[in-house]
Homo-oligomer: A and B are copies of this chain.
């Protein structure tokens, strides 16, 4: 009875991506990024794409790989401070960049998935982020009108998933993945572990399968750590 979204692997997941499309990619820094899908997008050489992602990877990993091959025309992000190639392309004008507050980015993705075309937020009022946007006062405080974001494809990474597309994320690798899963016209979920239908507790699912169109078990996760910080053993 359940609707199956299970596909053979990353090649089938990305088979119909096209030049010029808009992609959402989950993750915060390198935490919770769809590593397999990014590799495949690099391999396919799809170009002129717009990427909506909180960060832009590092120079040689994550979205940095797409940047290095100049596949990205425009980035919509909140923080891109870990990537020299990014900075170079941006300052030289090769790369179009739309920087938006992190909370507005998260909420705009959720809004896109939830059928809410626009909402008001105090974030960015009085800054260049609000330029050209409607400002309205609520409770004596100015707010900026922000619009929903959607994407042709959303690529998300989860810890566990089932054939129905139900997803569970681990720790802080959840971050932007659930909202982007909601906002993709086609949402591709790669998971560390694809478990049998019925083995996930329906109380514990973070992303209901209705938001996911394709799911597969990813391979060879590197899960790189950007800032390895440790305490002294007491």
Contact = CB atoms under 8 A, between A and B. Distances in A.
Interface in A142-193: 143, 147, 168-171
Which residue of A107, A168, A203 has the most chain B CB atoms within 10 A of its CB atom?
A203
B117 A116 contact: no
Nearest to A114: B107
Interface residues of A, number: 22
B116 A107 contact: yes
Interface in A193-218: 202-204
Interface string A112-142: 0011111111100000000000000011000
Nearest to A170: B203
Given A170-B203, A202-B171, A120 B121 contact: no
Contacts of A138: 117-118, 147
A175 to B, nearest CB: 13
Contacts of A143: 117-118
Contacts of A75: none
Nearest to A116: B119
A111 interface: yes
A203 B121 contact: no
Nearest to A206: B203
A51 B171 CA distance: 36
B119 A115 contact: no
A115 B122 contact: yes
A203 B120 contact: no
A119 B107 CA distance: 11
A203 B118 contact: no
23 contacts: A107-B114, A107-B116, A115-B121, A115-B122, A116-B119, A116-B120, A116-B121, A117-B138, A117-B139, A117-B143, A118-B119, A118-B138, A118-B143, A119-B119, A119-B120, A138-B147, A168-B203, A169-B203, A170-B203, A171-B202, A171-B203, A203-B204, A204-B204
